Chains A and B, each alone.
Chain A
Amino acid sequence: MQKVITLIFFFLTLLVSASAGIYQAQKFPLGVDNTQRCLRCHGMHNFTYVDSSKTLVNLTVDSTIFFSSVHGKLQCQSCHPGITEYPHNLLAAGKTTCASECHATKEGKPYDHKTVYETFLHSVHGKSLTGKDPDAPTCLTCHGGSAHVVQPVKKVMKVDEKMALCVSCHSNREMMVKHKVDPNAVSSYERSFHWKAIHYGYDKTAVCENCHTSHSVLPPENPYSTVNTANLEKTCGQTNCHPGAKMNFAMSNANHLEFMVEKKPVLRYEEKFFYVLTDGTLMMLAVGIVLDVQRKFGWIFLIKRLFVWLDRKTDQLGNMIVKVLKFIKKVLVD
């Protein structure tokens, strides 16, 4: 009888521990519509860990910001398809880029960033995506720093904020010189009417991206560049800008006048002419006024006033010196 009871207990224990083991090894599929489940952990503040290269990685996703971002309607798995079950492999989330297939739809049609990504890759800023240049901007540099907070640029950003994105790097002279970009681009733009309008609070004007585009910035020598000579007419003549603009209008360089002045002698001479005319005329007139005044009051008047003033100043100076000496005496002697 005792042997049977021991055997029963043995098998019961086996059964319990086995089932416990099976319970532990089981993973739960996440299924669809699982954002809330992910946010249960990822919505916590300071949800961080230290990875193999000793960097602190923050996995927090602020749910308020996320839901109001452009990606807020997507499922986590749209962009993180590697996460299919819980617990999930730590590294399975990491390989998402902006160009990843994300199964998102916009107005009923499938949507992805592949085209923009390709365009950006071929632009001068695209070197960031190949990982060769740490200074170059990535998608996230301008689009909010994290895919979970991205806001639509056109609708949310004001003109001066858009400009600030470009200016943050393009006004850094060392960085510009290092990358062989003209360091005076921003300062010359600040002499244009387009900038002055923003400065005085009027936003129907052109900032960097209106002429240079945001994703396909190319040097003017490149035939596909919007600021290439052949394409300028179309760029300046955009719908809300200067419709009807022809080549001659487009060739004026009122946006970056400094560059044109450097290149064209006629503009340099014009500037010099006005300097000479202005200064020469005003000097002559000032002399005329001084001569007139002094004749009405006499040179003596002016010179007397000068001496009176000098006299007063030397008195003041003398008094100050005396005071300082007294102070020094007090400090040293006492």
Chain B
Amino acid sequence: MKENKQKENQEYFVRLNLFQRIQHWMLLGSFILLAVTGLPMRFPDVRWLGFVYRLVGGLEVARTIHRIAAVIMIVGGLIHLGYILYLLKKNNFKILKAWPMIPTWKDAVDWWKTSLYYFGLRDSLPQYDRFNFREKFDYFAVFWGLPVMMLSGLVLWFPVFFGNHLPNLAIDIAYIAHSDEAILAISAIVLWHFYNVHYDPDKFPMSWIWWHGKISKEEIKKEHPLEYQRLILSDIADNSISNKQSLEINPKQNKR
């Protein structure tokens, strides 16, 4: 693993600061708990899933865990929305500059060029910025999926309240949405996100950026070259908070 290498000239950049990592940890923890306590409900015929309920001490306990994790996820989501607003304000609402995750025309072009590269029709990958089109896709899959889950989940949590005030079919719609979107979200995470950070032969067994937030110089040069160029060439007076904090370069030291 990269952070264990004690190379002398290994430089590290901060890719995710502590606040960003905390948001991800909240999401990670709550997602796993929600998935584990929710899946047996979705697949009652699969016997080994029921083991989860027996493990925690019954359906009631699992239900409570699911709801606590849901609250954590909702709070995390709200924190993130607040964070985006903060970034926007910091950058005078220039959204392209403030929100690195915003999809741009470049991402569509990158997708095309990357596909050509995969088929052998281009020699090299296009140059990616801080977040490549795959990561942005991941982000927006969550940006769509989680509000769906949260809203439908709240309806199912308080069926009498929401049932009374919303149209007839609200509960049925929520039931279908919550079950089906859960499957999509879990599959997408286990398949796509896990590929990008675990199964990918370049990253296997795990990319540790989510833990310590640092990306090595090699990696950023190879995978996010435009971001690297920007960091090297920009001034410290650059307003963007994300870039400013990413400017810490630690020669020699690999300590976290």
Contact = CB atoms under 8 A, between A and B. Distances in A.
B256 to A, nearest CB: 29
Interface in A274-309: 274-275, 277-278, 281-282, 285-286, 288-289, 291-297, 299
Interface stretch (A71-79, A96-104, A151-159, A193-201): A193-201
A294 B117 CA distance: 11
B176 A252 contact: no
A264 interface: yes
A232 to B, nearest CB: 11
Contact of B59 (A200, A261, A291, A299): A200
Contact of A248 (B59, B167, B195): B167
A186 interface: no
A248 B166 contact: yes
A83 interface: no
B187 interface: yes
Given A242-B160, A270-B177, A260 B165 contact: no
A201 B59 contact: yes
Nearest to B180: A274
A244 B160 contact: yes
A251 interface: yes
Interface string A187-230: 00010010111011110000000000000000000000000000
Interface residues on A, range: 35 or more
Contact of A251 (B168, B180, B195): B168
- Most A Cβ at <10 Å: residue of B59, B117, B141: B59
A202 B58 contact: yes
B218 interface: no
Interface string A243-268: 11110111111100100110010110
Contact of B201 (A244, A266, A285, A296): A296
B59 A278 contact: no
B171 A281 contact: no
Contacts of B187: 278, 282
Contact of A288 (B134, B141, B175): B134
Interface residues of B, number: 44
A277 B166 CA distance: 26
B172 interface: yes
A271 interface: yes
B173 A266 contact: yes
B175 A257 contact: yes
Contacts of A274: 176-177, 180-181, 184
A201 B118 CA distance: 51
A294 B199 CA distance: 13
B126 interface: no
B184 A277 contact: yes
Most buried by A among B164, B170, B202: B164
A295 B176 CA distance: 39
Given A278-B180, A282-B187, A282-B191, A248 B163 contact: yes
Contacts of B119: 291
B53 A254 contact: no
B50 interface: yes
A257 B173 CA distance: 10
Q: Which 8 A-B pairs have the closest CB atoms?
A: A249-B163, A252-B171, A274-B180, A291-B118, A246-B164, A202-B59, A251-B168, A200-B59
Interface of B: 40-41, 44, 50, 53, 58-60, 115, 117-120, 134, 141, 159-160, 163-173, 175-177, 180-181, 183-184, 187-188, 191-192, 195, 199-202
8 contacts: A245-B160, A245-B163, A245-B164, A251-B168, A257-B172, A267-B169, A270-B177, A292-B195
Given A202-B58, A249-B164, A289-B191, 10 more contacts: A197-B59, A200-B40, A201-B53, A249-B159, A251-B168, A252-B163, A252-B171, A260-B169, A282-B184, A299-B120
